[in-house]
Structure 1
Amino acid sequence: MRVIGLVLAALLSPLALAEEIGEVSTVFKWVGPNDKIVVEAFDDPKVAGVTCYLSRAKTGGVKGGLGLAEDRAEASIACRQVGPISFREELKDGEEVFKERTSLVFKTMQVVRFLDRKRNTLVYLVYSDRVIEGSPQNAVTAIPIVPWRE
């Protein structure tokens, strides 16, 4: 019963959904899709006026086409103010904003948010983790909270 509750909680979580903006091919594959870099955008579900852009590698080939390949841990992130910033809910430091599976079972890429109150800035960190061993590779971006000019 507890497992069902955890699955339902994961499905109903308020994490952002990514929208694919574009992609470029990096390695030609004879069979299956090419390896590529994809660029995705997602809005912070708790902070109106913020959109994050994430670029990451996607493994192609037969395994990649079937969703069985493990994607690389590298990613880049750039978050921007796209409108007036307002908080929909109270923010928690290190709160997960976006999460995407990068292997069949054990590896995920996630974006977490911090609020630097001293500098009045939102900070977003992207990193990859694995059940057994995570990766220290990461990227960070910051958005100062300033009035929006229309």
Structure 2
Amino acid sequence: MRKISLNAALGGALVGICLMSSAYAGSEQVGEVSTAFRLLGHNDRVVVEAYDDPRVQGVTCYVSRARTGGVKGTVGLAEDRAEASIACRQVATNLRFPDKLPLQEDVFTERMSLLFKRLHIVRIVDPKRNTLIYLTYSDKLIDGNPQNSITAVPVPTTTLIPVK
């Protein structure tokens, strides 16, 4: 009977949790480019991911961000850089909203490190201009990061945004 060390078991469990949490984030990778060669594991790269807004049917946000490669990055233990860029677009003829849309809502989050860093995409409603604003930023438990990116999706004037 083979014995497994406690460290190996905990490490495997943490890697599994990281992989599962990124799978539930709602993103779909649509492309990537390598930025640095790594002898072992994935190369460092910039990935482009698509996020469909779960409450506003017909809006997709495209986020580009750095992903760390190497052995740590391949198994999900590396901390990715905080920079990200976002562009959201109306991708359907008609937008569909729920009965009431909050004025501000954190619509997507995804881990950028094992425990402490997350990527956020926040939807902000501007009812005066009938526009949806999407903001991306990263936070860190100990010290936040002010780097952010913003985009806006104008809503056709025939469709008013129902807000709380």
> Would you call these one fold, judging by a TM-score over 0.5?
yes
8 Å CA contact 2:25–2:110 kept in 1: the answer is: no
For structure 2, list consecutive stretches of 5 or more residues without a partner in the other structure. Answer: 1-19, 160-164
**Structure 1 runs of 4+ with >2 Å offset:** none
Given residue 47 of structure 1, which amino acid in structure 2 is its aligned partner? V
Which residue of structure 2 aligns with residue 98 of structure 1? 108
Whether 1:54 aligns to 2:63 is yes
Residues in 2 aligned to 1:26 and 1:73: alpha-carbon distance in whole angstroms = 16
Residues 37-84 of structure 1, C-alpha deviation per residue, up to 9 Å, x if partnerless?
A: 010101101101101101110000111111110000000000000111
Whether 1:129 aligns to 2:129 is no
Count residues with an aligned counterpart.
135
> Which protein is richer in strand relative to its size?
1
Compare 124-133 and 15-24 and name the one that shifted more. 15-24
8 Å CA contact 1:48–1:88 kept in 2: the answer is: no
8 Å CA contact 2:64–2:86 kept in 1: the answer is: yes
| Cα distance change of structure 1 residues 89 and 62 upon mapping to structure 2, 3 Å threshold | farther
Q: How much does 1:91 deviate?
A: 1.6
Residues in 2 aligned to 1:131 and 1:80: alpha-carbon distance in whole angstroms = 31
Given residue 139 of structure 2, which amino acid in structure 1 is its aligned partner? D
Residues in 2 aligned to 1:16 and 1:93: alpha-carbon distance in whole angstroms = 22
SS in 2 for 1:128: strand
Residues in 2 aligned to 1:18 and 1:41: alpha-carbon distance in whole angstroms = 6
Whether 1:108 aligns to 2:140 is no
Residues in 1 aligned to 2:25 and 2:127: alpha-carbon distance in whole angstroms = 23
Whether 1:43 aligns to 2:52 is yes
Q: How much does 1:127 deviate?
A: 0.2
For structure 1, list consecutive stretches of 5 or more residues without a partner in the other structure. Answer: 1-10
Give the one of 68, 79, 88 matched to 1:79.
88
8 Å CA contact 1:16–1:45 kept in 2: the answer is: no
SS in 2 for 1:63: helix
8 Å CA contact 1:16–1:44 kept in 2: the answer is: no
Larger radius of gyration: 2
| Cα distance change of structure 1 residues 96 and 75 upon mapping to structure 2, 3 Å threshold | same
